[in-house]
Structure 1
Amino acid sequence: MKHMLRFVFLMLLTYPFLSVANAKLKPFSSDGCSSFPDGTIEHKNLWLACCTAHDLAYWQGGTFKQRDQADVDLKECVAKVGEKEIAVLMLAGVRVGGTPFLPTSFRWGYGWPYPKFYGELTEQERMQVESRLAELNTEKNN
């Protein structure tokens, strides 16, 4: 654990030098509920929409507070479809597995090149998010 804390500390110290100034946001993609089922045996996609909305927030990235809200929103969404126990389990999973510090395909800020840690999006980054969201809406309407 001590070595992991040193690693994280060093990453935070060097972060400004590691970041890509003109990073490009990839188009939105979702793997559903990642390594978790998308629903029950009877209703295979019962909470899939909850996971897709959660993925949209994670794809964009942003502050720790925004990530925390995305995780709470996932929990509330899954609870609303009638699965309160599953919602609590999923919240625990995303809190542990969604860290931006690991180069996973489902990390916080996965739409950006790694590393993309917590922080307010720049104006240029927000413009890229808006542009990608407009593309996504156009695809849905066609």
Structure 2
Amino acid sequence: MNQQNFILVILILIALPVCLIKAEAAELKPFTTDGCSSFPDGTIEHKNLWLACCTAHDLAYWQGGTFKQREQADIDLKECVAQVGEQEIAVLMLAGVRVGGTPFLPTSFRWGYGWPYPKFYSELTEQERLQVESRLAEYADTEQH
């Protein structure tokens, strides 16, 4: 086997597990939120001041999607926190999620964390969108009870 074929075989062996993961139908885990992850959920006086902003942001991150959708989710977080009167905190949070929310690391708060890792940027398929809708309905039911 020449060097070029050897390198090709190695690349295929490295890529094969990722391809197999993508080929099987991934199952979306139920929605969970950790609030503002490692960041406070509010101020000392108002402990949950921007918690709802973080929960909405987690909802977007849980389901994942395209790079543009992540960018919008991060902007929405910034705007939400600014609307509760914390402009400086909003800018700080935006910087944190832009750096820490990458889908390329297997963290519990990455973009697309509801799906098995790896789940990189991509439009959700119809089957994935149906799973999102189903899990959201389950979550709404648990929130009402």
Q: How does 1:17-96 map to 2 (within 5 A)?
A: 17-96=20-99
| Ranges in structure 2 where 5+ consecutive residues have no aligned partner | 1-10
Once the two structures are TM-superposed, the CA of residue 112 in structure 1 deviates from its matched residue by 0.2
Q: CA offsets per residue over residues 65-102 of structure 1, 9 Å max, x none?
A: 00000000000000000000000000000000000000
Kindly provide the amino acid, as one letter, of the partner of residue 114 in structure 1.
Y
Matched, 1:131 2:143: no
In structure 2, the residue matched to 1:101 is: 104
Task: Give me the TM-score of the superposition, normalised by structure 1.
Answer: 0.88
AA matched with 1:29: T
SS at match of 2:85: coil
Deviation of the 1:138 alpha carbon: 1.2
Structure 1 position 39, deviation (Å)? 0.4
Q: Which moved more, 1:14-23 or 1:79-88?
A: 14-23
Task: Provide runs of 4+ in structure 1 moved above 6 Å.
Answer: none
Over the matched positions of the two proteins, sequence identity in percent amounts to: 80
How far does residue 18 in structure 1 lie from its aligned partner after superposition? 4.3
Aligned residue type for 1:139? T
Structure 2 counterpart of 1:122: 125
Q: CA–CA distance in 1 between the matches of 2:29 and 2:140?
A: 15
Asked whether 1:112 is paired with 2:115, we answer: yes
- Higher Rg of the two aligned structures: 2
User: What's the CA shift for 1:139?
Assistant: 1.3
Compute the RMSD of aligned alpha carbons: 1.5
Shift of 1:21: 2.2
The residue type paired with residue 61 of structure 1 is G
Instruction: After TM superposition, give the deviation of residue 62 of structure 1 in Å.
Output: 0.2
Equivalent residue number for residue 6 of structure 1: none
TM-score normalized by the length of structure 2:
0.86
Q: Distance in 1 between matches of 2:23 and 2:60?
A: 21
User: What is the Cα deviation at residue 17 of structure 1?
Assistant: 4.6
Structure 1 unaligned regions, length at least 5: 1-9
> Counterparts of 1:20 and 1:37 in 2: how far apart (Å)?
39
The alignment covers a number of residue pairs equal to: 131
CA distance in 1: counterparts of 2:23 and 2:120, whole angstroms: 12
